Amino acid sequence: MPRRVDHAARLAEIEDTVIAIASESGFEAVTIRAVATRAGASTSVVTHYVGSRDELLHNAIQRELASRQADADTATRDLDGAEALRSFIEWAILGPDERTHRFWLALVMAAGRQPQLRSELDGFNEWWNGRLMQLLQGAQVANPEIACDLLGVFVDGVVVSGFDAGQPWPIDRRTQVLDMIWRTIGVAAH
């Protein structure tokens, strides 16, 4: 009798493998062969689920982006105004684990060389900026465009500086800097 395969679980395993390889070694290291080897499968198993490397990357990245967006929605659920804004930014800098930060860094680094990745990242950034602007306006920040830029640079800087320093900033340090940013843009501290 043929073995039953849970196709959704198999595809999720393939996507997890893509994310793991990209997080550890960058997107250039993600090939159908590398994914198959790491997943303990043949290349034909991988290509049964995805037709090309582009599709492989698209599926994995879209799943990761959807997961991040769902986490952001959870962090801001039932909140409004400055409280929702604070929760959104705190989710971005305090919530993700190192693997998630490594994935984002790999995506940003590869986006300049791989148009498909640039497109995926641009889509997320459009969502990020729209959501952040909505939250800044809800918090009645006087200059939401400048505040959006400031918070974007801060979040990106916290992630990148963690790799530059070899470890993330301690949470209390990130919180202190964030409190200063809240004062700068006119959002009351907790």
Q: Give the predicted TM-score (pTM) of the model.
A: 0.85
Long-range contacts of 98-102 (CB under 8 A, 24+ apart): 98/162, 98/168, 99/19, 99/20, 99/23, 100/68, 101/159, 101/162, 101/163, 101/168, 102/23, 102/24, 102/163
Domain assignment present for residue 2? The answer is no
Give the pLDDT confidence score for residue 150 in this predicted structure: 94
Domain assignment present for residue 79? The answer is yes
The enclosing domain of 92 has a CATH number of 1.10.357.10
Average pLDDT over residues 43-51: 92
DSSP letter, residue 40? T
Cα–Cα distance measured from residue 120 to residue 103, given in angstroms and rounded to the nearest whole number: 13
Q: Which domain holds residue 76?
A: 7-185
Domain assignment present for residue 167? The answer is yes
> Into how many domains does the chain fold?
1
Domain assignment present for residue 131? The answer is yes
Domain assignment present for residue 190? The answer is no
For 21-30, 54-63, 154-163, which range has the lowest pLDDT when averaged over its residues? 154-163
Average pLDDT over residues 101-129: 92
